[in-house]
Every structure is written in C-alpha cells, then in structure tokens.
Structure 1
Amino acid sequence: MAREVDIAALGELLIDFTEAGYSKDGMKLFEQNPGGAPANLLTVASHMGYKTAFIGKVGTDMHGAFLKKTLQKEGIDTTALIEDEHYFTTLAFVEIDENGERNFSFARKPGADTQLRKEELDKELLRNCKIFHFGSLSLTDEPARSATLEAVKTAKETGALISYDPNYRASLWKDETTAVETMKSVIPLADVMKVSDEESLLLTGAKSYEEAAEVLLSLGLKLVAITLGEDGVLVATKNGKEHVAGFHTNAIDTTGAGDSFWGGFLSRFLSFNKAVEELTGENIRACAVQGNAVACLCVQKRGGIPAIPSAEEVKAFLKENV
C-alpha cells in the first residue's frame, strides 16, 4: 500500500516571542512567531511540495489557535494535533545577539507540548508515513517521553524511515548528564540524524566532528549530518564522510536554521525515491546543498516558520549560487 504522508513529525509546537526592538518608552518588544523544531522542518517539506502531518499538543488558548491556523496555512495536516483545555500552549522568549545567535527562556511548567499521551497518538498516521521525525524536547518530560517512544516504535514497525534531531536546551533538563543520557538513548532507534556541531561533541565526548560522526554511526545510524553554521555540514555514512560548504550570509536570526536545513535535506532525499543505503555521493551532496540553501535563506529573517523560504525562492537561490 502506498504511504499517504511523506513526513510526519512529533514534538513541540510553540510560540517564539522574538526580540523586536523597543517601545517609545524604552521597553523591549517581543514579536509573536510560530515555531517549534518539528513544525519548522515540516514547513520546509510542505513548501517543497511534500505531504506533511504534525503530531503534538497545544492548549485551547489564543496561542494554540494561532499555531493550528498557522500549520494549516502552511499546508501541514493538523488532524493529529491535540487541543487540551487543561494546559497552556508552550512559550519561548528569545534574545538575539549581534550575530543572530539566541538565548531562550521557556514558559513550560508544564507546557501543553509535554502532555501528549501515547493513547492520543494517531497510529494510522504513524503506520502510513514515509519518514517519521522527532526531536529531543518531547523526551524531557512525561507523558510526552513515553508517547514519543511509542510513536517511534509504531512507525518503525511498519517500515518508516526514522529521523532524529537532538535539540539541546539546557534549561529544560534537570542537568546535563540526564540530558545527554536521554538524548543518546534513542539514537539506536533512528536511521538518520541531524545534529549541531556543539551537540555532536556533547553527545559523544569526541574531540572533532569527524570523530563524533564515527561514534554516532557506530550506534546504528545509516546517515549523520553535523551542521556547522555558515561552514555548511559534515555528512557521514558507512561509505565515508564529506564536508559540504555552506553559503555565506549576514544572519539576522538563526532560529530554525538547523530545522530548515534538515527539512531541505529530507525533501531532496525524498525526490530520489531511494533507500538511504542506495544514495550515491552525488545524491548526498545534492541533499546537503539544498539544505544549506534553505538554512541560508531562513536566517535572513526573524522567527521560525515565518522565515522559511518558498520552493521558488530556494530554486532561484540555487540557480544563482551553485
């Protein structure tokens, strides 16, 4: 039977209140931006023409309603998005420095995203997706942790490619040791993984990104992509490693950069209609180049979902820069 959804993703859907200047009285202003790593990734894939679906939970408040409407506007199926009157939609306040780098402060005690229960999962969706993607923010608290593991198990049993992005946010964990142990424990369940430069060293204890890639592959992954900011990405499989250069730009806000990279990468992967093991070096480079292009365009605007480029913008950028 043909799978009905190209990418289904589970995890946090939240508001990024992003710094946006000052009021006339000198008070800092924050702009309401829809975000959350899995949702950012799905937005890229949806823009690229793929069928996507989100699995998660928001509150029955103004922010939850706004987020659901945003996903629908982006062409993402929200059938598996639960609206729960008992919990408030998760909020993140984002400071941005002169280089576009971020500092997060979360309102999540608990946030609705942590309250997804395994019995609320749409099992039919999980059994009918080509790629199932999850991150680590849904692993920080119960019941969402158990729901995530159940979703991975269900999708894996029916042959979906499992994608994982360990997105480390220190303030959401009890301590660093707990975070590393938990984020690392699910790697053997995944087939492909995107991880940032800093997170790759944190998870492996390696001294270099090349060494980190080797350690991660040894845990059972078929492909690892270590993002290196404007320096691009290191992609590793059992057949070897390759650094694919990024595109230089003046970053305004790096929110969603890694998510948009991975969304661009997975979208290009889907276009080949091959198993990961069948990808050629040229195929992998094409995935990485598209991911780098999407990320480069994303960081030129503020916010997560609002900053994600259209397929036409990506195509024009690649035509001009490759």
Structure 2
Amino acid sequence: MADILHPDLPHFVAFGEALTDLIRIGPDRWRSACGGSPWNVAVAMSALGRLSAFGGAISQDLFGAEIWQCSQDANLDMRFIQQLPRPPLLAIVHELDPPRYFFIGQDSADLHFRPEGLPAGWMRSLRWAHFGSLGLVREPLAGRLLALAQTLKSEGRLISYDPNFRALAMDSRYDDTLAQMCRLADVIKVSDEDLRGLFRVSDHRLGLAQIAAWNPGAWLLLTRGAAGATLYHGVEECSGLPPQIDVIDTVGAGDSALAGLLDSLMRNAGAPAEEHLRWALAAGAAACTAPGFAPPRHGLVAALAEDIEVTKN
C-alpha cells in the first residue's frame, strides 16, 4: 500500500533537543521553562504562521509533560514528538548575568529519538529542515541527525543550521560535524560569540571567512545582539540594527531571528536580501518584548519591520 500523504503535514521541522531550563532566581528559589534551541525555532515558525513541527524525543515525567503541553499550545505537529521512558534533559542555569549553566542528561530521552518513527510521507511535504545545537553533539542522536540531514539534502529539501555554540560540548571533536553541516546547509545562522568559540579564535571574522569558503552559496546570517546583524548571500551583503524597543528578555531572540529569515525565504525566496534581513531583525526583536521565550507573532513582526533600516554594504 502506498504511503498516505496527509495534507496537514508540516512544511518545516526542527530536529534536535527540547529541554527544561532550571533557572536560579534566588538563594533557594528556582523556576523552570521549556527550551532548547531547535524547539524554540519550531515554536517561532509556528507563531509566524507556518505548519511547523519539532522532531525529537522527550521524557514521560513532569518535565516531558510540560514540554508536551507547551508544544500543543504552540500548535506544533505532535506526531513528530516521541515520548519515551527515559530521563529528561535539563539545563541548570545557576547564574543569569553573565549566564552560567551546565547540562544533566545521561542516557536522556532526547538521545533515543528515531526518525523512522515519524509519520508516513512526511518527507514529501517538507520544504525546510532545521538542525543544530546539542542534538548534533550528543551520541547516538548526533549521528542519526547528521545522516538525516544528508538524506534530506539528497532528496532536494532545504536545510538550515545553527550550531549554537556550547563551550563544554563543542571542542575540536565537533570540527568535522561543523564543516559537514556548513557545507550541507542552505541557511547558516551564527553569532559573533559562536564563531569565536567554534573556531577558537579572538576575531570572529576568521570563522566567518571559513564558513563562506565552505559554502559560498548559502544564506549566512551573522547576529551581534544589540549591535544588529548582517546577512550574506554570494556577493550580496547587507546590515541593519534592531528596532528601538523596551527589551524585557533576550531568551530565544537568536532562534526567533533565524525563524524570521526562514519565514521570509519561504514566503518569497527571490526577494531582496534587505527584505529578508529586515524580517529576521524584527522577529528577533519581537521575542524580546516579554519575559521568557516570547515567540514572534506575525502582526508584531510586521509592525517592527517597518521601523528597521537596512543598508547594503
């Protein structure tokens, strides 16, 4: 029997980890929040109006239950989340300024995600797949996701990649994965801090040049926080500053900026680079307007985009 292609299968799937941030807010007080960079990107894409899914595994305990509920609330396609009888992945954020954290996740549920368990026909509906962060570091998940990215690329699907540098996890052993994913990706998002860490250099431009050499045809989004962002595509280069807003919280701003770029490319890939960057900056800013991770809503992004000036370099 032929695979059934459901008309509501997502056009975008972010693969990797969803986790729980345990954030210290006082000497003996903590709060929890759902997170994980790939999960954030999936939620942001859904908030922007895309049929979106997070492809990953979560635990069956109270932490996994909260991620499941938040994913439902975000209108993600729940067929792509696998709940398993394994421990949760936790990020212990014990200082906020500057952020200091570590991860707890030995044999945790995320590592046991199986792409073969996804809905029949999902690849045929897919337009973009996103990869990055801890999912491409921690085995055996990392090997499965790298193989999946290679398969999707060979099938003509578009790939986005955000390494999301983590100092304790991405040392020289990550170099091969970094090179392979940069060569595969159609969109690469990095911050200046990511580049200094990934390439172990003091000048982020050295890392930027290496990525451009690996994949000169990719869209390359360089974010610099309040200093704005630059978008590169072939010989095109444009830069802009975020709009003037009251910043409440920057959690998920980079993930939302990437989602903004992908949303713009899905809507009109042939639009000028300046238009794509404007939408990315507006989406990143929208995520800063509320406490915690605030997914960027289309209306707010559109309003913020009107106040952003982008210049060709």
TM-score over 0.5 (shorter chain): yes
Amino acid at match of 1:146: G
| Aligned residue-pair number | 303
My pick for the range that moved more, 122-131 or 40-49, is: 122-131
Q: Distance in 2 between matches of 1:51 and 1:65?
A: 22
CA contact (8 A) 1:227 1:233 kept: yes
Q: Partner of 1:317 in structure 2?
A: 304
CA contact (8 A) 1:115 1:142 kept: no
| TM norm structure 2 | 0.86
My pick for the range that moved more, 38-47 or 195-204, is: 195-204
Q: Distance in 1 between matches of 2:179 and 2:245?
A: 32
Q: Distance in 1 between matches of 2:57 and 2:135?
A: 11
- Pair 1:248–1:181, CA change in 2 (3 A): farther
Instruction: Find the partner of 1:295 among 278, 281, 284.
Output: 284
Q: Distance in 2 between matches of 1:288 and 1:236?
A: 10
CA contact (8 A) 2:14 2:55 kept: yes
Amino acid at match of 1:36: G
Q: How does 1:178-217 map to 2 (within 5 A)?
A: 178-204=173-199, 208-217=203-212
- Pair 1:212–1:244, CA change in 2 (3 A): farther
Amino acid at match of 2:180: S
Deviations 1:202-254 (A, max 9, x none): 44466655554332122125111111111111211112322222235554443
Q: Do residues 30 (structure 1) and 35 (structure 2) align?
A: no
Report deviation, 1:168: 1.4
- Pair 1:16–1:207, CA change in 2 (3 A): closer
Identity rate of aligned residues, in percent? 26
Structure having greater relative contact order (Cα 8 Å, sep ≥ 6): 1
RMSD of aligned Cα (Å): 2.6
Report deviation, 1:190: 1.3
Q: Distance in 1 between matches of 2:142 and 2:96?
A: 32
Q: How does 1:264-279 map to 2 (within 5 A)?
A: 264-272=260-268, 274=269, 279=270
Q: Distance in 1 between matches of 2:117 and 2:9?
A: 20
- Pair 1:207–1:18, CA change in 2 (3 A): closer
My pick for the range that moved more, 205-214 or 284-293, is: 205-214
Q: Partner of 1:124 in structure 2?
A: 121
Q: How does 1:1-322 map to 2 (within 5 A)?
A: 4-20=9-25, 22=26, 27-85=27-85, 87-95=86-94, 97-98=96-97, 101-121=98-118, 124-173=121-170, 176-204=171-199, 208-220=203-215, 221-249=217-245, 251-272=247-268, 274=269, 279-280=270-271, 283-304=272-293, 307-319=294-306
* Structure 2 gaps, min length 5: none
Give SS of 2:280's match. helix
Report deviation, 1:188: 1.3
Amino acid at match of 1:88: P
- Pair 1:192–1:129, CA change in 2 (3 A): same
* Structure 1 gaps, min length 5: none
Amino acid at match of 1:55: G
Deviations 1:46-87 (A, max 9, x none): 1111111111001111111211121111111020211111x1
Q: Distance in 1 between matches of 2:266 and 2:66?
A: 30
Deviations 1:87-144 (A, max 9, x none): 112111224545xx52222111132212224544557323421101010311222220
My pick for the range that moved more, 221-230 or 310-319, is: 310-319
Q: Distance in 2 between matches of 1:170 and 1:177?
A: 11
CA contact (8 A) 1:260 1:295 kept: yes
- Pair 1:291–1:212, CA change in 2 (3 A): same
- Pair 1:123–1:239, CA change in 2 (3 A): farther
CA contact (8 A) 2:282 2:304 kept: yes
Give SS of 1:235's match. strand
Q: Distance in 1 between matches of 2:193 and 2:175?
A: 12
CA contact (8 A) 2:287 2:295 kept: yes
Q: Distance in 2 between matches of 1:252 and 1:31?
A: 17
Deviations 1:138-157 (A, max 9, x none): 12222201220222123212
